[in-house]
Structure 1
């Protein structure tokens, strides 16, 4: 399904333009849907004029055929409601659903393009709220604006056309309603935007808090901190409640004021038409009085409906602005037009590399110079905050140097399409990330039609078959959300199998055994020994068993390299590494 460049077409403070762009592929269907609605809704505005005609036939004792003609016309329009209601739903609602699908697809693509730094700053719960709740809000607003807005417009336009022909003297009275409504809407618009934005931000905070609470439940329960967690949640819930009540209060005040004003105008119109007919001031028949009264009631209801849509439309536009926070986020990884990587040998050279996070006043990595040969294993060690994770994120390409450069097989990585480079990279993190699927699905994630013998060989090399073969469903065992049905060591071995099956040229092991018990660590270490063979490997670790066999150990402190050498060499020199091992 084709997608337009939505992420480059968001119009900032002009969300209406954005909505028009979102519906660009369905404009014809929306037009057809509006036409179908006007046909299906025709009984609403035809009934008063036909009723007036029937009353005049009765009062004036005209031929009875007039009654049958009026009734027949109404029956025809009533029957037409069914097929045109189906067409309206297919065209209008279908357009809203397709827009929602395109928007969610655009948001998903944008989130894949945004930097790791962006995802570290923005809660996953907030992004989930935008993709689900905000898009749903736009869909719902579009559908309800169609149902209520088109209904009001059909009634309004039909009534004005009939009155202009049947009782033109009363047309100015009806037209007075429009500017009165416009004044009310303009008064409401600015205040609604601020209230909707405040409420939306509180809901996003609530979503983030719920995600945090569910993640921390094991720790909360283990330390008896349930009341603390509930107090934090209750505080957020109170803020959402207060923001919602402010928004509801404004909507109610506006609705009540509009209803009183418009119905007061309706009473005046009824009294005026009745007096005109009573005194014979204008050529107004009893049927006209009934028609004008009915039309003004319909007109009042239509304008009230249109005004009541203002909060709904404001909520939908606020959701568009919310999505724009993602679509306009500048934290992108730019790969367009850069060289594709077809072969990786694994040589990585850092030349006086420096990196500082945008919100930080100090460098996370400074003057980092290192030449890594293809097939070499480099261990990065140092205290927390020494810059190890930043260095490996630079290798993966999640971060770009703010100073210096990194060469991959002699080519500046700034000139490379990092998406194609990462086909040759695998990462085994401290906590293996699994999705709710089968073992087979998790190991072959992103690969198509992998033969079973290849999968089993990767699992055997990862020391994982010994527990998989004991499971009733074997490779088709569902691991649960985030691998909840497996132990830490089992999940880590699946992560190693996932890396092995891709046969990477560059491998990153980020604290891959730090959370494991001794038995699980031994099994994982055996698997890692097979995994690192013949590959360029970057290891971030604290445990001696993980780093002692590295070709070179890079000791970091405050973002700088302070020592480089093998395990034995660094012990002999008696520097920072040796002091850390003896501590």
Structure 2
């Protein structure tokens, strides 16, 4: 989200968002009919006012007055019905379009490559989906209707002013450019300030989310006062930017209203002279004044709505940035298909890769390795050796800068990422638990699984024991990020999730690291059973957990430096021997 990039014209961004409105042509037509109907009735009511004054008050006719009042009431009732229809359908459009935009943005975000979220704060993205779409809903469901209605009243009022008294109308028209000018001049400033306001609000939301998610760390380090000070700074910055926007909008409204009332005063003075001289009737002057007030009110309303439109334009720009962002990982136009029965053979061929945030530091360099179908391979080495990066590339979270990865002889970049990933199951070192129930989290990798299948997966991961002790067992809510579970319990749920998916290739990133010795042993047995017949890659820092794998690959600074069994590597790899000595307290050979 490049905040330094030049901004497009405000209204053009709203026009780009119009594609979400166009599918609802029926509702647009109903709202437009109601809008025209109510605007016409409003203009017609003024004629009844003229008749009441001339035929009733001035002429002294009680019968004419009664007839005019009856007609006035009929029109007022029709106006109420029309207003109800207009408000309902316009509000319906606002809510429907807002929901569609939120879904479109969220659906698009789920397709973005992980590197996108390294550059963009999740809290700001959340703000755009919630706060910015709410602003847009206000415009579509309210402000746009007000703007169109007042535009109709402005045009219709000017026409009736000409019909009533062309000479007086010229006084009004002379002042319209003076009113429109400030709207145009201040419009861009209001839009830019609105954009800055939304950005600052997003920063506030991001800071709140991060502090709450990490509340244990915040309190453990007694960082509350510092966080309060920093948060106050974010809030005050947002307040000051919002105040600048409010000041500009207030000045705009004040200028417009002053000019409007000056024009009305001039008009009343000229019209009063015409009534005194007999050139127009009192009813005509009354109608003219009402039309003039209507025109003036319409201009004032449009000036205020214009500020809302500018705010919405800023919000729309932010939403369109999300919708127009392109993922670096996409399916090819004509993706290849994997063999009907996947074997699980993997081959890494001369991989080189740097993370986008560290373009000058290779995470992998000239990495080549072949893994036989159904075999197990452990990746060991110091932190930063590139072990987790291999998992990222295998799942196509990133693409290598050079080199290729093959699955059963097919370059994974020639595959649809969705098809590729359905053959993998990942158990991370820090397992992800989603807000929801125990069953929901286990079923995450296989939503159509039955309850019996969920229970069987939990049994295999040795998770049933603690699940049945929870207050609502399988339906227990786990809280945000599984805050109600221990680290080991989260790990076992993640393993159960992988077991349920029943993949051809397992990726285990320190999958037993959060378990105590007894649980680790039982889960290790479950994993060894699960690994049978599947290609398995294991990232391990504790070498005791991988001594029985088929092969071990030793990595350092992104390079493959040795492969072999545990006993072979003790003799052939000084780095592995050193790591082994540190963990097993064995002498270096």
Normalised TM-score (structure 2) = 0.92
Which of 181, 184, 196 is the matching residue for 1:183? 181
Partner Cα separation in structure 2 for residue 404 and residue 523 of structure 1: 39
- Show the counterpart of 1:220: 218
Superposed CA offset, 1:171-213 (max 9, x none): 2233334322321121012212221221121111111111111
Partner Cα separation in structure 2 for residue 84 and residue 523 of structure 1: 71
Superposed CA offset, 1:197-245 (max 9, x none): 2112111111111111112210111121211221221121121111111
- Whether contact under 8 Å (1:57, 1:67) holds in the other structure is yes
Partner Cα separation in structure 1 for residue 547 and residue 68 of structure 2: 96
My pick for the range that moved more, 486-495 or 22-31, is 22-31
Partner Cα separation in structure 1 for residue 342 and residue 104 of structure 2: 31
Partner Cα separation in structure 2 for residue 313 and residue 27 of structure 1: 22
Partner Cα separation in structure 2 for residue 537 and residue 458 of structure 1: 18
Which of 56, 59, 76 is the matching residue for 1:61? 59
- Show the counterpart of 1:330: 326
Superposed CA offset, 1:15-36 (max 9, x none): 1321222211124422321320
- Show the counterpart of 2:276: 278
Does residue 399 of the first structure (1) align with residue 395 of the second (2)? no
Q: Against the structure 1 CA distance between its residues 47 and 500, is the aligned structure 2 distance closer, same or farther, given a 3 Å change threshold?
A: same
Count of residues paired in the alignment:
571
- Whether contact under 8 Å (1:349, 1:369) holds in the other structure is yes
Q: Against the structure 1 CA distance between its residues 182 and 546, is the aligned structure 2 distance closer, same or farther, given a 3 Å change threshold?
A: farther
Superposed CA offset, 1:452-507 (max 9, x none): 33222211110111222333533222222222222111111111111111110111
Partner Cα separation in structure 1 for residue 61 and residue 156 of structure 2: 27
- Show the counterpart of 2:240: 242
1:347 is displaced (CA, Å) by 0.6
Aligned pairs (5 A) from 1:464-475: 464-475=463-474
Q: Against the structure 1 CA distance between its residues 70 and 429, is the aligned structure 2 distance closer, same or farther, given a 3 Å change threshold?
A: same
Superposed CA offset, 1:263-321 (max 9, x none): 111111111111122234xx311122222222222211110110111221011111111
Superposed CA offset, 1:44-84 (max 9, x none): 43333322222112465265443233212221122123432
Partner Cα separation in structure 2 for residue 83 and residue 526 of structure 1: 72
- Show the counterpart of 2:305: 309
Local SS of the residue matching 1:444? helix
- Whether contact under 8 Å (1:43, 1:74) holds in the other structure is no
Aligned pairs (5 A) from 1:110-149: 110-149=108-147
Partner Cα separation in structure 2 for residue 343 and residue 46 of structure 1: 76
Which of 27, 30, 38 is the matching residue for 2:28? 30
- Whether contact under 8 Å (2:412, 2:420) holds in the other structure is no
Partner Cα separation in structure 1 for residue 162 and residue 337 of structure 2: 68
Q: Against the structure 1 CA distance between its residues 298 and 319, is the aligned structure 2 distance closer, same or farther, given a 3 Å change threshold?
A: same
Superposed CA offset, 1:314-362 (max 9, x none): 1111111101221121234211531244543211101101112334223
- Whether contact under 8 Å (1:45, 1:154) holds in the other structure is no
- Show the counterpart of 2:586: none
Partner Cα separation in structure 2 for residue 337 and residue 168 of structure 1: 68
Q: Against the structure 1 CA distance between its residues 122 and 526, is the aligned structure 2 distance closer, same or farther, given a 3 Å change threshold?
A: farther
- Whether contact under 8 Å (1:113, 1:332) holds in the other structure is no
Local SS of the residue matching 2:553? strand
Which of 327, 335, 339 is the matching residue for 2:336? 339
Partner Cα separation in structure 2 for residue 367 and residue 12 of structure 1: 44
- Show the counterpart of 2:545: 546
My pick for the range that moved more, 207-216 or 439-448, is 439-448
- Show the counterpart of 2:83: 85
- Whether contact under 8 Å (1:379, 1:538) holds in the other structure is yes
Q: Against the structure 1 CA distance between its residues 28 and 57, is the aligned structure 2 distance closer, same or farther, given a 3 Å change threshold?
A: same
Superposed CA offset, 1:359-401 (max 9, x none): 4223221111000111122222222222222111111111111
Gaps of at least 5 residues in structure 1 are 1-10
- Show the counterpart of 1:411: 410
Partner Cα separation in structure 1 for residue 447 and residue 350 of structure 2: 40
- Show the counterpart of 2:287: 291
- Show the counterpart of 2:556: 557
Normalised TM-score (structure 1) = 0.93
- Show the counterpart of 1:3: none
Partner Cα separation in structure 2 for residue 125 and residue 32 of structure 1: 38
Aligned pairs (5 A) from 1:432-511: 432-445=431-444, 447-511=446-510
- Show the counterpart of 2:520: 521
1:573 is displaced (CA, Å) by 2.0
Which of 139, 156, 159 is the matching residue for 2:157? 159
Q: Against the structure 1 CA distance between its residues 61 and 12, is the aligned structure 2 distance closer, same or farther, given a 3 Å change threshold?
A: closer
My pick for the range that moved more, 437-446 or 237-246, is 437-446
Local SS of the residue matching 1:445? helix
Partner Cα separation in structure 2 for residue 182 and residue 491 of structure 1: 62
